[in-house]
């Protein structure tokens, strides 16, 4: 098949892009042709299709809202338009479809940078649409079910305008109102009803979004393409990989390690400046065993996993099947994480790792000490989580389930 993959970015920035590039390799391996559509950016992977990409908001070197020029009216007009409906994006995608004639479209992360107008572009050209949910944007204007860095479901249980009241988007009433009204507009015009099939990476996400969806919806977990032999090494540090932001619970992790004679390495970066808050705490309290490595990719990241002893992931929000956790599993690293969201699906307590109460630093500290001191338990949990990875989160299983959905719609 010719498969059109739509994502806001065409370089690795976060989980959706990790998934996208992993999937592209799997699809190509099975003989499919992949046609990407995204926004222009200097960081993009090279592709012959970039001439069809949509213009980026604020310029081709900008990625996050925090990087936008706040004094440029054009930037705000573009940002506002992409929230609701972008004819520029729609027309760009139609040109790509006419030139390449794909069999099916697979939409990944698209709101904010592209807009739901891509759905109408595909429908105008009679292309079946499958959409994967990497977060909760269909039920939450903030998209992560977060209110002041705490889990919140008011927009599901009450009204979308709870986000305005709580200033959920960037702590701004105006931005929260824009996002809430945009989602309301999309519901009024029923744009997402035109999607033929929805894919959820976790059962937790499926349960949260299913009440507002009328289309077919499936649970197909994410996968990792890493081919790692059964692990034998117990490393000499704990590891965190991901965005260095408040919702990841890193301050709790640092406080737990503060009085433990064992190193924690934090791999990733922050676009909001939250890393400065963490480093200020470390300096003020003279914490010596925390290392910020910055982002790592490919073989360098794999070595970080391989040389670690266990994976620390004390998130305070509803993670949606994070890629980094699946990667840690493939390297046979027990996971200590929060008993919340999809993490309950990934980690089996006392079998493949430990689930701790949100914000309970003492409990987190106890589990960390256990995996440091008891190498037998650490090795057993690591063996269990490795087996779970190769049986439940393999690329073969993911491909088989996904391609059946594609084939059913193309037929």
195 φ, ψ to 5°?
-70, 135
Residue 231: inside a domain, yes or no?
no
Contact 285, 258 (CB under 8 A): yes
Residues 156 and 87 in one domain: yes
CATH code at 257? 3.40.50.2000
* Residue-wise pLDDT tens digits, 221-247: 999 888 888 877 899 999 999 999 999
Residues 258 and 348 in one domain: yes
Residues 247 and 209 in one domain: no
Closest Cα to residue 138, out of 175, 106, 186? 186
Residue 268: inside a domain, yes or no?
yes
Residues 184 and 35 in one domain: yes
Q: What is the dihedral of CA 397, 408, 121, 2, to 10 degrees?
A: 60
State which H helix or E strand residue 124 sits in. Answer: helix 117-124
Residues 388 and 404 in one domain: no
Residues 22 and 68 in one domain: yes
- In whole angstroms, how far apart are CA 98 and each of 26, 34, 94, 198? 25, 15, 6, 24
Residues 53 and 145 in one domain: yes
Residue 229: inside a domain, yes or no?
no
Residue 232: inside a domain, yes or no?
no
Give the end-to-end CA distance of the chain in Å, rounded to a whole number: 11
* Residue-wise pLDDT tens digits, 184-221: 999 999 999 999 999 999 999 999 998 877 678 999 99
Which residues of 275-395 form beta strands (DSSP E)?
A: 290-294, 310-313, 335-338, 353-356
Residues 248 and 345 in one domain: yes
Q: Which residues of the chain have pLDDT under 70?
A: 60, 64, 66, 70, 214
Residues 141 and 252 in one domain: no
Residues 215 and 271 in one domain: no
Residues 243 and 365 in one domain: yes
Token pair recorded at residue 73: 């009216």
The SS3 call for residue 202 is coil
Token pair recorded at residue 103: 């069999």
Domain enclosing residue 335, as ranges: 237-392
Residue 228: inside a domain, yes or no?
no
* Residue-wise pLDDT tens digits, 294-323: 999 889 999 999 999 999 999 999 988 899
- In whole angstroms, how far apart are CA 79 and each of 86, 126, 196? 10, 28, 27
Can you tell me the distance from the alpha carbon of 300 to that of 365, in angstroms, rounded to the nearest whole number? 28
Residues 261 and 406 in one domain: no
Number of domains, the chain: 2
């Amino acid at each position: 098949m010719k498969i059109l993959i739509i994502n806001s970015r065409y370089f690795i920035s976060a989980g959706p892009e990790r998934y996208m590039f992993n999937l592209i390799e799997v699809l190509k391996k099975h003989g499919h042709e992949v046609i990407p559509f995204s926004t222009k950016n200097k960081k993009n992977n090279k592709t012959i299709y970039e001439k069809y990409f949509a213009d980026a908001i604020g310029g081709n070197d900008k990625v996050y809202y925090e990087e936008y020029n706040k004094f440029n009216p054009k930037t705000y007009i573009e940002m506002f338009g992409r929230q609701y409906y972008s004819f520029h994006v729609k027309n760009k995608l139609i040109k790509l479809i006419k030139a390449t004639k794909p069999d099916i479209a697979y939409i990944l992360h698209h709101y904010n940078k592209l807009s739901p107008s891509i759905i109408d572009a595909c429908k105008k050209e009679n292309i079946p649409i499958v959409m994967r949910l990497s977060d909760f944007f269909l039920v939450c204007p903030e998209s992560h079910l977060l209110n002041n860095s705490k889990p919140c479901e008011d927009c599901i249980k009450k009204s979308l305008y709870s986000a305005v009241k709580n200033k959920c988007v960037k702590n701004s009433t105006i931005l929260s109102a824009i996002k809430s009204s945009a989602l309301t507009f999309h519901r009024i015009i029923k744009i997402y009803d035109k999607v033929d099939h929805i894919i959820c990476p976790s059962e937790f996400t499926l349960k949260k979004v299913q009440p507002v969806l009328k289309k077919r919806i499936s649970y197909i977990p994410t996968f990792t393409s890493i081919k790692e032999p059964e692990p034998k090494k117990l490393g000499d540090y704990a590891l965190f990989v991901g965005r260095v932001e408040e919702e990841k619970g890193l301050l709790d992790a640092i406080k737990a390690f503060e009085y433990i004679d064992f190193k924690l390495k934090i791999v990733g970066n922050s676009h909001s400046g939250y890393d400065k808050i963490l480093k200020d705490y470390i300096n003020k309290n003279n914490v010596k065993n925390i290392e910020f490595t910055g982002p790592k990719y490919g073989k360098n990241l794999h070595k970080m996993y391989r040389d670690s002893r266990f994976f620390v992931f004390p998130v305070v929000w509803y993670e949606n099947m994070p890629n980094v956790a699946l990667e840690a599993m493939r390297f046979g690293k027990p996971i200590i994480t929060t008993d919340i969201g999809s993490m309950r699906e990934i980690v089996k307590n006392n079998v493949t790792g430990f689930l701790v109460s949100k914000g309970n630093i003492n409990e987190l500290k106890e589990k960390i000490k256990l995996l440091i001191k008891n190498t037998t338990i650490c090795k057993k949990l690591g063996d269990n989580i490795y087996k779970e990875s190769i049986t439940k989160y393999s690329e073969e299983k993911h491909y088989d389930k996904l391609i059946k959905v594609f084939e059913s719609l193309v037929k």
